[in-house]
Amino acid sequence: MKLFPGIRPLSRTRGWRDVLSGVSLAAMDIPQLLGYARIAGMPAVVGLYTALLPLVAFALFGASRHLVVAADSATATIFSSRLSGIAPGGSAEYLALAAGVALLTAGMLLIARLLKLGFLADFLSRTVLTGFLAGVGVQVALAMGGDLLGIEVTARDSVHQALYLASHLLQAHGPTLALSLSLIVILLAAKRWGPRLPIPLLVLVGCIAASARFDLAGHGITVLGPIAGGLPSLVLPRLAWQQWLDLLPIAFACFVMIIAQASAASRVFADRYQEHDDQNANILGLAAANAAAAVSGAFVVNGSPTQTAMADQAGARSQLAQLGFAAVVALVLLFFSDWLQYLPHCVLAAVVFTIGLGLIDLKALRAMRPESPTEFRMALVTAATVVLVGVEQGILLAMALSLLHHVRHSYRPHSQMLEPGPQGRWLARPVEYGQVTSPGLIVYRFGADLFYANENLFTQQVNQLVDHAPGELTWFVIDAGAITSLDYSAARALGELCQRLQDKGIQLVFGRVNDYLRQDLERHGITALVPPQHILPTLHEALALAGVQPQLG
């Protein structure tokens, strides 16, 4: 097992850039981690703990060069909403239960790695990933609305947040709103004209200094307030047997969310930079990160799309940036935690708001609409589900839609016939009943594997072509180039079709049969119905057997 796969290979120049990117990421992300701790019902300092040992653990084992594994709003919301009914938020029992959830989640992720369940990420198409991230972007932007306006929003779901903000716009705090809008304009302009400049870092440092110097809190602009410092102590959560059993459903919900969301986030950025992403290694890294969170007094950590986008914007291109991030967090915990108390909430909200907007890839959506309207609608449905229902449901829907989209293509594949073209070349055209390839011959091409869901389409088209063929039909050639497998149900249907054609005196020939399909034909007994010399590796040989010598176009 190779350690630090998300860092190697790395040049010295790129390494220094990643370290500096980690510093910039820390400046943007540290206040956000404090906010996640508040969502989780934990002391604010625990949010910083999630970006210490868990980050190092994922960098040690995880393969993704971009994924940031720390506190996340989705998993924080999942376990806090369920733990709040068991113990008071922030209490010693609550902290122990949160650590227990992290440890159970780590165990489930380890089992998933042993079972090599990383392939589940392959069921996420780029289409629905675009929609998923757009939905997350809208959700994140709405969640920042209260801090941007200087009002308290008690609603947790996006719909009620939007309704509350719309009905309380007139109650916005003027200085807070003015500062928020100014920062959003500056950050968006910097992203447009100076994306490589550390503008978010300068904005945060400048705002902390201004808040301390001019007492912004005294002018009604809310700030984070006192933050406890110091490194976490290492201890295993001590819970009763029944408590562990009670936590299993909560841990499983977090496990599903982590598998889906981390896979989605890592896949997006691996695709963006044309990199290979080993999802099984990522699952191992996530298991190690959650185990580290459990023993360091933190809570469940996840691969966050928002924070990964922040790292990408900061210029991070390997996990070395995340190690730099962890080093800065350690320094802050030891020496600089007192300064964070001056950071206005609206400054953090403005940074996160612009990141959320960046997750909405309008360019990809615009390109998708004319090219593939169906996939465009899938992306919109996924985005709407994330916003209206939740991230967990949205990512699960994304996986389901990706799978259904694939099955739909396999269920109704493109089928074609070959016909003579100009200059002796033969060309493919759509299936049309009542037509033949040449007198006495039909060449039929099926565009997918044969399985139980499309066997009816296959047999129906072949029977219709045979029944409506003008004149006497002698040869029926199946171009099997797209057929690589045959299940039991489809084999039974194919056997019945072979028998029917044989009864009609029609010679059935298979062309472009690969080794896998040949083995399936033998195993299912089709070779007992079709002579071996009629099952051929190329279409030229199959057509030659039928008495023609085409040049295939």
Beta-ladder partners of 428? 418
Q: Is the pLDDT confidence value at 425 over 90?
A: no
Among 406, 440, 469, the domain boundary falls at 406
Helix, strand, coil % (nearest 5) of the chain? 65, 5, 30
Question: Is there a single domain that holds both residue 326 and residue 429?
Answer: no
Could you tell me which residue, 226 or 425, shows the higher pLDDT? 226
**Residue 313 domain-assigned (yes or no):** yes
Question: Is there a single domain that holds both residue 183 and residue 261?
Answer: yes
Could you tell me which residue, 280 or 394, shows the higher pLDDT? 280
Q: What is the pTM of this model?
A: 0.71
Question: Is there a single domain that holds both residue 396 and residue 457?
Answer: no
**Residue 194 domain-assigned (yes or no):** yes
Distance of CA 387 to the CA centre of its chain: 16
Question: Is there a single domain that holds both residue 420 and residue 397?
Answer: no
Range name among 21-35, 213-227, 390-404 with the lowest pLDDT average: 390-404
Question: Is there a single domain that holds both residue 398 and residue 443?
Answer: no
**Residue 369 domain-assigned (yes or no):** yes
Question: Is there a single domain that holds both residue 392 and residue 430?
Answer: no
Identity of the residue numbered 147: D
Among 406, 429, 448, the domain boundary falls at 406
Tally the domains of the chain.
2
**Domain residues for 48?**
12-406
Task: Please give the Cα distance from 67 to 340 (Å, whole number).
Answer: 25
Residues 333-367 pLDDT 10s: 998 888 888 989 898 888 878 878 888 888 889 98
Q: Is the pLDDT confidence value at 217 over 80?
A: yes
* pLDDT of amino acid 423: 66
Question: Is there a single domain that holds both residue 92 and residue 75?
Answer: yes
Could you tell me which residue, 210 or 275, shows the higher pLDDT? 210
Residues 520-548 pLDDT 10s: 999 999 999 999 899 999 988 998 898 87
Task: Please give the Cα distance from 332 to 8 (Å, whole number).
Answer: 27
**Residue 288 domain-assigned (yes or no):** yes
Question: Is there a single domain that holds both residue 401 and residue 510?
Answer: no
Question: Is there a single domain that holds both residue 239 and residue 259?
Answer: yes
Question: Is there a single domain that holds both residue 402 and residue 455?
Answer: no
Question: Is there a single domain that holds both residue 205 and residue 237?
Answer: yes
**Residue 4 domain-assigned (yes or no):** no
Banded pLDDT at 144 (limits 50, 70, 90): confident
The answer to whether the peptide bond before residue 88 is cis (omega within 30 degrees of 0) is no
Among 355, 386, 406, the domain boundary falls at 406
Residues 226-264 pLDDT 10s: 877 789 989 999 899 999 999 998 898 888 878 878 888
**Residue 1 domain-assigned (yes or no):** no
Angle at 204 between CA 202 and CA 205, to 5 degrees: 65
Q: Are 348 and 337 within 8 A, CB to CB? A: no
Q: What is the CATH number of the domain that holds 545?
A: 3.30.750.24
**Residue 2 domain-assigned (yes or no):** no
